[in-house]
Amino acid sequence: MFAEGPDANSAEMSFTLYAAVILSFLGGTRWGREVAQSMGVPRTRELSLSILPALGGWLAAAAHLGGYQQIAWAGLILAFALAFFWDWRGSREGVWPEWYGRLRLILSFGAVLSAAVMIILNA
């Protein structure tokens, strides 16, 4: 472990929880887009899929609380990568503006790199 003690544990948990919140936000963008663009009843499939990033983030938080920090951070890497590719494809297909795909590339790279650093420092 790179650092030990209650402060290190709090920092690690804060990182994991913040990542879960960000993944929830990313899913919320999909939810909001579907609700805003639906005429009448939104598509159930799209609404259902939009909660997957949040579920991934909060499952990682639960793993962290259970003492499985490495698994939690690996799960966050997977969740951020999948959310990125979903949005990147959407920006290429006109679901999102092109600039959004570029922004997501930069921010997703930062999120994945941060989680990878957490794994490395705590190996």
In a domain, 97, yes or no: yes
pLDDT over 60 at 18, yes or no: yes
- Reported confidence tier of residue 2, pLDDT bands at 50, 70, 90: low
Secondary structure, 3-state, 42-92:
CCHHHHHHHCHHHHHHHHHHHHHHCCCHHHHHHHHHHHHHHHHHHHHHHHH
Per the structure, the complete domain to which residue 94 belongs is given by 6-121
For 80, counting Cβ atoms within 10 Å of its Cβ (0-12 exposed, 13-18 middle, 19+ buried), the class is: buried
Express as a percent the part of the chain with pLDDT over 70: 96
pTM, two decimal places? 0.90
In a domain, 48, yes or no: yes
In a domain, 1, yes or no: no
In a domain, 91, yes or no: yes
Identify residue 5 by its one-letter amino acid code: G
- Reported confidence tier of residue 3, pLDDT bands at 50, 70, 90: low
What is the domain count for the chain? 1
What is the per-residue pLDDT across 32-87, written as a single tens digit (0 to 9) for each? 999 988 888 888 999 999 999 999 999 999 999 999 999 999 999 999 999 999 99
In a domain, 31, yes or no: yes
